[in-house]
Amino acid sequence: MNIYELTVEELYDKIQQKELKPSEVVGALFEDIDKIDETLGSFLFVNKEDAMKEAARLDDLQAQDQMDGELFGIPMGIKDNIITKGVLTTCASRMLEDFHPIYDATVMEKLNAESPVLMGKNNMDEFAMGGSNENSYFKNVRNPWDTDAVPGGSSGGSAAAVAAGLVPFSLGSDTGGSVRQPASFCGVVGMKPTYGRVSRYGLVAFASSLDQIGPLTRNVRDNAKILNLISGTHNKDATSMPDVEEDFLKSIDADLTGKKIALPDEYVEEGIDEEVAEAVKNAVKVFEDLGATVERVSFSDIKYVVSAYYLIASSEASSNLARFDGIRFGHRAEGAETLEELYKKTRAEGFGEEVKRRILLGTFVLSAGHYDQYYIRAQKLRSVIEADMERILEDYDMIIGPTTTTPAYDLGEKIDDKLQMYKDDILTIPANLTGMPAISIPCGVSSKNRPIGMQITGRHFAEAEIYNAAYKFEEQFNLHNELKEIQKELR
C-alpha cells in the first residue's frame, strides 16, 4: 500500500477500520516531504513536531474507538495566507516572515473540529499576487509533472503538494483564479466557491470583494467533502452567508440527462492554445454521451474582464496592504529617523516587486482625479460582465471552457512579461468578478505531458450541480493513474 496514493475518503476508511494509524500516515508523508520537497518547494513551513504529537494523540483515541471527526487523522496542507493559531503564517513575504498568529481562521476552526493533522503551510505567490508561484520571497514552487514548469499561482504550493501526494488535500485562496489555475497546471481538482459560501475571516486580504477560500484535492468527491466541512457563516464576517443544510455529496452521482451546458465561442477560439481548445472540445463529446446538451454561445464581454479585474483588485490591495507599515506587526525597517521614513523603508524592504506594482497601480486608481475615471468605470464593467454571465445561465445550467489559455509553461518563461501573465487570467476572472462558483478538473494532457484543465461555472450557490457534472465527467476521464506514476517517479 502506498499511503501517498490514497484519497481523503480512502485514508479515512482505513483509519476507521484500524488498518492504518494516524501516526503511520503522518510519518510516511513526512518522509516523502523530506525526500521530495527540497526540489518542489511546496511547503514554506513544515509542522513536523506538533503534527507528530497530534498524530500520537489520535492514535490513543483510535485505540479507544473514539474516532470522532470527518477528517480523523487525515493530513492536510494550508496555504500560507490562511491564519493558523501559533503556526508561522508569512504570506510568502518578508513582511511577515516571523508572524505567529494568535487565532485561527474560520476555516481552520471548522477543519480542526474534524480532527485532521496540519502538516504545514504551503508556498504561494507573495500576498497571493501572481499566476506562476515565482513571486514567493522565499523560493519558487515547481510543478510535480515537470520540475522545469511552473505549478501556477498563487496557490501553487497547495496544488503541487496535493499532486505530488504530500498531502491528500489542501486549502488555497482564489482572487482571480488562484485555486483553479494551479489545479489545472498540476492536474488536480480545485474549487472556487460562491462568494460568501466560505467565510474569509482569517484569510489575509488581497482584494476583499473577490477573495474566496477553496479546496484542492485529487478527485471530485474529496473536494465536495472538504467544501461541506468549511462552508458556513461567521459572526465576524459580514460577507459570509448564513449556515444552510446542504450536502454536496448527496446528488453527486445524479444523471446528467437533460442538462444544458454552454460553451462560449471566445473560450475555444483566438488566444487559446490549440491543444487546450481540442481537449475541451473532446470534453464536450463526453458530456453529450452522458446525456447533456452542449451548445455554443457568445460571451462577448469577456474582453473587459482583465482590465476591470486588475483595476478593482489592485485598488483593494492598496487599501488592504496599508496596514503593513512597520508600526503594529510584521517587518520593521532599521535606521529610520522619521515616521515617514519608517513607512517608506519598511514597505520598500518588506514587499516584493509584484506586490509593489499592484499597490502603486491601486493607489493611482484611487487617487483624486482618477477614481471616477478608472475605479468607478471598472465597477460598472463588473456589473455588465455579471449581467452577461447571468444571461447565459438563464438558458443553461452551467458554462464550460478551458481553465487556462495554455498548459503550464516553463519557469522563467513569462516572469518578465507581466502584461501577458495578467492576460492569462482571462478565463478564470469572470467567476471572481461575478461571485459565481467554478471548478477546475483535468480534461487532457499536452504533447509535453503537462495537464490541461476544464472549468465548469454555475449559478450562485449551485456548487452541488457543478460537483455533479464534474464527478460524472471524472468517471469517464481522469488523470488518477498518471498522477500515481508522477508520484512514484518523484520518490
Q: Which residues are catalytic?
A: 79, 154, 178
Strand ranges, E, within 245-390: 260-264, 293-297
Specify the amino acid at residue 329: F
Taking the C-alpha atoms of residue 351 and residue 93, their distance in angstroms, rounded to an integer, is 7
Identify the CA nearest to 437 among candidates 215, 157, 167: 215
Taking the C-alpha atoms of residue 311 and residue 488, their distance in angstroms, rounded to an integer, is 43
Q: Are 240 and 196 in contact (CB under 8 A)?
A: yes
451 DSSP 8-state letter: E
Q: Which residues pair with 217 in a beta bridge?
A: 169, 189
Identify the CA nearest to 312 among candidates 437, 439, 432: 432
**Strand 117-122 relative to strand 75-79: parallel, antiparallel, unpaired?**
parallel
Taking the C-alpha atoms of residue 457 and residue 435, their distance in angstroms, rounded to an integer, is 10
Q: Which grid cell is 283?
A: 470534453
Peptide bond preceding 154: is omega within 30 degrees of 0, i.e. cis? Answer: yes
- Residue 23: burial class (beta carbons within 10 Å; 0-12, 13-18, 19+): buried
Taking the C-alpha atoms of residue 135 and residue 386, their distance in angstroms, rounded to an integer, is 30
Q: Which grid cell is 278?
A: 481540442
Identify the CA nearest to 430 among candidates 461, 406, 465, 455: 455
